[in-house]
């Protein structure tokens, strides 16, 4: 189906979410105008502040609107100080992931010129790879079935299913194929611990089986401990990494670190019918209300959203609008005009937006 008007459900959420969301919508609008793409945004309520006031974290009508939309753009939700009675943090984003069956967590790791980075600038390499994290099972599936034996033993159980793994690996190999067309190696690396745990041996076997249907891209494996080493030593060796839920959670923060800061890392959680686009960072209560939040991760997440919409609904304009936002963010940093607080600079949310917006206008 071809489309040029998209219904976007927007969750500003908590903390710095409400600071980075409105400017992101402005940027998306400006980028889309040039290509006659229209986005109808609907702001939806959910999160810790909403829970505190109403006793529910994700109201049913917000969920229904999100479900009926073409894509969901979410800033961040949760506050360490506001919790459910059992002590868990408020996390409606996990509920969205579960309800909408968003099994592929896409975490691009791309370094930008003009930023002081922990590794890349010292070694003369730019980083540009993608980590794909399974998001519906693995060890985190145990979240709702934790077992405690008296006061002596606590157990969580890892669940790996053939169905869950096959759809994950198919997603990863398709990503490898798409990247190969764009000039990347497209090699897909399975990250596991198959040498110790049977569930990971099973995971790896399924990976090898699925790989046989994608003989045009290279497939290889690495143990998660070795992956941690190589992500610091020579992260440029990876192109598409694919892994289990908890390993992916940990390694994607490592990836955000490689980009220099949480405010630089975008993400997407994708299923067969729905997708949520969201920066990797949380609500950052330590800097909220100070105008210091880096909105770049949110801008780049919105770009991922337009790219996904363009691909799904056969709209090259949306793909180009996505590229323009990405290019504008890159140009803003490369120009040296801005350096966010999280990098030790003095550019706040508004200054970063203004610079990125100006670069977008120059592209147009």
Which residues 295-314 are close enough to bind ligand ATP by CB under 6 A?
A: 297
Rank residues 195 and 290 by Cβ distance to ligand ATP and give the closer one.
290
Please report, in angstroms and rounded to a whole number, the separation of the first and last CA atoms in the chain.
28
Strand partners, 41: 8
How big is the chain, counted in residues? 364
The span of 201-209, 239-247, 291-299, 304-312 binding ligand ATP (CB under 6 A) equals: 291-299
User: Do the beta carbons of residue 282 and residue 89 sit within 8 Å?
Assistant: no
| The one among 286, 314, 346, 363 contacting ligand ATP by CB under 6 A | 286
Residue 36: name the closest of 306, 307, 317, 320 by CA.
317
Which residues 73-132 are close enough to bind ligand ATP by CB under 6 A?
A: 78
- CA dist 61 and 239 (Å) reads 40
Could you tell me the smallest distance in angstroms from the CB atom of residue 336 to ligand ATP? 19
| The one among 287, 304, 305, 318 contacting ligand ATP by CB under 6 A | 287
| The one among 176, 282, 310, 348 contacting ligand ATP by CB under 6 A | 282
Could you tell me the smallest distance in angstroms from the CB atom of residue 261 to ligand ATP? 6
| The one among 8, 115, 276, 293 contacting ligand ATP by CB under 6 A | 293
Q: Sheet harboring 240-243: ordered strands across?
A: 38-43, 5-13, 71-76, 275-277, 268-270, 104-110, 128-134, 240-243, 188-192, 219-223
Rank residues 310 and 348 by Cβ distance to ligand ATP and give the closer one.
348
242-281 footprint of ligand ATP as x/- string (CB under 6 A): --------------------xx-----------------x
- Burial label, 130 (beta-carbon count in 10 A; 0-12, 13-18, 19+): buried
- CA dist 286 and 289 (Å) reads 9
Residue 13: name the closest of 77, 84, 97, 93 by CA.
77
Contact between 12 and ligand ATP per CB under 6 A: no
How many residues bind ligand ATP (CB under 6 A)? The answer is: 14
Residue nearest to ligand ATP (CB): 282
Instruction: Write out the residues near ligand ATP by the rule CB under 6 A.
Output: 16, 78, 262-263, 281-284, 286-287, 293-294, 297, 342
């Amino acid at each position: 189906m071809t489309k040029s008007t998209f219904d976007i459900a927007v969750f500003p959420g908590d903390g710095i979410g409400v600071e980075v969301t409105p400017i992101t919508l402005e940027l998306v609008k400006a980028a889309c105008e040039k290509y006659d793409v229209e986005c109808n945004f609907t702001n939806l309520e959910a999160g810790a502040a909403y829970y505190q006031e109403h006793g529910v974290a994700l109201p049913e009508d917000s969920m229904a609107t999100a479900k009926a939309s073409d894509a969901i753009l979410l800033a961040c939700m949760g506050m360490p100080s506001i919790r459910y009675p059992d002590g868990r943090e408020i996390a409606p984003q996990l509920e969205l992931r579960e309800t909408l069956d968003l099994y592929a967590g896409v975490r691009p790791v791309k370094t930008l010129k003009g930023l002081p980075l922990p590794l890349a600038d010292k070694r003369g390499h730019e980083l540009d790879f993608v980590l794909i994290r399974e998001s519906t099972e693995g060890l985190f599936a145990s979240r709702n079935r934790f077992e405690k034996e008296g006061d002596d033993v606590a157990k969580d159980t890892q669940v790996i299913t053939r169905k869950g793994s096959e759809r994950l690996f198919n997603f990863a190999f398709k990503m490898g194929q798409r990247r190969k067309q764009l000039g990347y190696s497209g090699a897909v690396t399975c990250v596991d611990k198959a040498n110790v745990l049977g569930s990971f041996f099973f995971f790896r076997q399924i990976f090898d089986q699925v790989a046989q249907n994608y003989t045009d891209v290279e497939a290889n494996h690495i143990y998660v401990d070795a992956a941690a080493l190589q992500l610091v030593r020579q992260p440029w060796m990876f192109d598409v990494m694919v892994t289990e839920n908890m390993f992916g959670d940990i390694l994607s923060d490592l990836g955000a670190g490689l980009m220099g800061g949480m405010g630089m890392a975008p993400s997407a959680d994708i299923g067969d019918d729905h997708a949520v686009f969201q920066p990797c960072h949380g609500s950052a209560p330590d800097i909220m209300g100070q105008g210091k939040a880096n909105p770049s991760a949110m801008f780049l997440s919105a770009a991922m959203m337009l790219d996904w919409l363009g691909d799904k609904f056969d709209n090259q304009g949306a793909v180009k609008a996505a590229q323009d936002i990405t290019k504008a963010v890159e140009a803003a940093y490369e120009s040296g005009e801005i350096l966010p607080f999280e990098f030790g600079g003095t550019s706040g949310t508004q200054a970063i937006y203004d610079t990125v917006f100006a670069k977008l206008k120059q592209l147009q």
